[in-house]
């Protein structure tokens, strides 16, 4: 999501979106490799329902923090470049910061939900803002005679 939002908010006409596909494929390979290597079990929690408990959860969140931190540095670096949507980039920086803080709190044992999901909700709202930045085309109704 961050890659697509960065592409929309940076407004680089010379950058081809296919570069994002390459990065997404690399992240997908890492993700699926991790899915096969990480073991977990499903437990029932009376408050939240079914919860997946992952072995080596701490390592996964540290890796996630490194990736999100790298994306945050990327967004901060390109924040003041010409022709970008500064408001959108600011929202993206705030969302990445919230995800980092949420993951650090989660690793520290402070958990509002069984998983850190507040940052994901913020990303969904930002994605809605990004979609709304595109020009809307009106479709004229065809009248039959």
Distance of alpha carbon 120 from alpha carbon 102, whole angstroms: 10
Amino acid 138: pLDDT: 62
Distance of alpha carbon 75 from alpha carbon 107, whole angstroms: 24
Distance of alpha carbon 129 from alpha carbon 32, whole angstroms: 29
Least confident range from 4-8, 92-96, 113-117: namely: 4-8
pLDDT in tens, 117-144: 888 888 888 888 877 777 666 666 565 5
30-34, 64-68, 78-82: which is most confident = 64-68
Amino acid 144: pLDDT: 57
Residue 138 vs residues 2, 40, 78, 141: alpha-carbon distances, Å: 29, 49, 34, 9
Average pLDDT, the chain: 80
Least confident range from 17-21, 42-46, 64-68, 118-122: namely: 17-21
Distance of alpha carbon 86 from alpha carbon 103, whole angstroms: 26
For 49, the token pair is 């329902």
Does 48 have pLDDT greater than 70? Answer: yes
Please choose, from the candidates 91, 38, 32, the residue with its C-alpha nearest in 3D space to the C-alpha of residue 61: 38
Amino acid 11: pLDDT: 66
| Whole-structure pTM value | 0.71
Amino acid 140: pLDDT: 62
Distance of alpha carbon 52 from alpha carbon 41, whole angstroms: 6
Does 42 have pLDDT greater than 70? Answer: yes
Amino acid 97: pLDDT: 92
């Amino acid at each position: 999501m961050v890659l697509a939002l960065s592409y929309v908010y940076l407004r680089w006409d010379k950058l081809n979106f296919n570069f994002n596909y390459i990065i997404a494929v690399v992240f997908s390979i890492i993700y699926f490799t991790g899915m096969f290597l990480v073991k977990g079990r499903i437990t029932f929690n009376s408050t939240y329902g079914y919860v997946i408990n992952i072995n080596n959860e701490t390592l996964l969140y540290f890796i996630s923090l490194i990736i999100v931190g790298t994306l945050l540095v990327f967004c901060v670096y390109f924040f003041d470049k010409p022709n970008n949507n500064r408001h959108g980039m600011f929202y993206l920086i705030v969302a990445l910061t919230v995800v980092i803080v949420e993951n650090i709190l989660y690793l520290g044992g402070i958990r509002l939900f069984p998983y850190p999901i507040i940052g994901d909700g913020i990303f969904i709202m930002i994605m809605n803002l990004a979609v709304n930045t595109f020009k809307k085309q009106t479709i004229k109704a065809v009248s039959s005679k």
